[in-house]
Amino acid sequence: QGLYEEALKQFEKIEDTDFQAMYQLGVMYYDGLGTKKDPERGVEYMNKILNSDSPEARHLKFAAAYNLGRAYYEGCGVKHSTEEAERLWLTAADDGNPKASVKAQSTLGMLYSMPILQDLKKAFFWHSEACDNGNLESQGAVGIMHLYGQGTRQNSKAALEHLRKAAELGNIYAQGHLVEYYYTSKFYSKAAALAKRATENDDINMVAKITDCHPACVARGAAMAAFYLARCLQLGQGIEKDQHASEKYYSKACHLDPAIASHLELAANLGRI
């Protein structure tokens, strides 16, 4: 915190002449880093950058537009507006430009997957752009969309390529879906081994921060993995039977994401898995 406070002082000294300092101040005020949270002031700084004609602000415009979109979506510092958030994220994403905001590209993929603006073809397009530009969260999303034929044709080969790559890089949501794929394909040893790995770290927020994935998606993936690991342990599939451990992982799945755990339990009771 002390480092943030010192940085804040230094940035404020040069904010009128340095757009990078202005951007950092916007982030710090919006998120309350080194200072009292002041989202309105954070938004003000981002707007200054976005509306500036200075060539020195050009390289920051995509990031500023992404952050402003976030503010409108969260209704923090400005009145909530999904439409304005979408507009700003489209500006920030710049039609998939790898030098633009890759985070905005991935966020659009998420946005178009939600009921309010659901358009799975658009979601697949933006996740694909972000994935090609190195976004780990979208790498997993592209795999899942290929797996279930969402917004694109079903393609198991492409799905597994993306899911395995994302899983190797630590995407827990991808790991959870890969566990499910292995389990339903009766590759129980693979399912159990990957599920163990996916459920090792209980600090969801830390994992989300390290991988730059949404905490809810991390929790969902870990819940899926925990449920299937519990089932493997209960039935002795791909791993030695252990009723006590099975109950522990069932409980963990319920704690991580009750809705996912309930859905999978119902599927198991109906003999679907």
Tell me the per-residue pLDDT of 86-113, one tens digit each, with 9 for 90 and over. Answer: 999 999 999 999 999 999 999 999 999 9
Same domain for 132 and 56: no
pLDDT at 11: 74
Same domain for 224 and 264 = yes
Same domain, 72 and 162: no
88 and 107 housed in the same domain:
no
- Three-state SS string over 160-183 comes to HHHHHHHHHCCCHHHHHHHHHHHH
Q: Choose one of 124, 140, 169: the last residue of a domain.
A: 169
Give the model's pLDDT for residue 44. Answer: 96
Overall domain count for the chain:
3
**Domain encompassing residue 152:** 102-169
Model pLDDT for residues 18-34, shown as the tens digit of each residue: 899 999 999 999 999 98
Residues 157 and 176 grouped into a single domain: no
Return the pLDDT at 2. Answer: 55
Q: Are residues 117 and 82 in the same domain?
A: no
Give every CB contact of residue 198 below 8 A, 6+ residues apart in sequence: 172, 175, 176, 179, 221, 222, 225, 226
Query: Percent of the chain at pLDDT above 70?
Result: 98
Tell me: pLDDT of 129 over 90.
Answer: yes
Angle (CA) 21-213-185 rounded to 5° is: 165
Return the CATH number at 116: 1.25.40.10
Domain stops at, among 76, 100, 124: 100
Q: What is the mean pLDDT of the chain?
A: 95
Task: Give me 5's structure tokens.
Answer: 């406070």
Report residue 120's pLDDT band, with 50, 70 and 90 as the boundaries.
very high
pLDDT at 88: 98
Model confidence band, residue 6 (pLDDT cutoffs 50, 70, 90): confident
Least-confidence region, from 13-17, 196-200, 249-253: 13-17
Query: What are the tens digits of pLDDT across the range 31-64?
Result: 999 889 999 999 999 999 999 999 999 999 999 9
Answer yes or no: do 175 and 270 share one domain: yes
181 and 157, same structural domain? no
**Token pair for residue 177?**
């879906």
Q: Is residue 91 domain-shared with residue 112, that is, in the same domain?
A: no
Whether 194 and 271 map to the same domain: the answer is yes
pLDDT of residue 259: 98
Q: What are the backbone angles phi and psi of residue 251, rounded to the nearest 5°?
A: -65, -40
Averaged pLDDT, 128-154: 98
CA atoms within 13 A on the CB side of 128: 14
H helices of 32-101, in order, are 39-50, 61-74, 82-93
Contacts of 121 (CB under 8 A, 6+ apart): 151, 152
Cβ neighbors of 153 (< 8 A, separation 6 or more) are none
Is 1 a residue whose pLDDT tops 60?
no
User: Residue 5 pLDDT more than 80?
Assistant: no
- State whether the Cα torsion 115-117-118-123 is positive or negative: negative
**Average pLDDT, stretch 68-75?**
98
On whether the CB atoms of residues 124 and 201 are closer than 8 A, the answer is: no
Nearest Cα residue to 206 out of 235, 172, 159: 172
Residue 270: the pLDDT is: 95
User: pLDDT tens across 246-265, in order?
Assistant: 999 999 999 999 999 999 99
Largest CA distance in the chain: 66
Give the domain-ending residue among 100, 130, 159: 100
User: Two tokens at 189?
Assistant: 């040893």
Tell whether 160 and 177 lie within a shared domain.
no
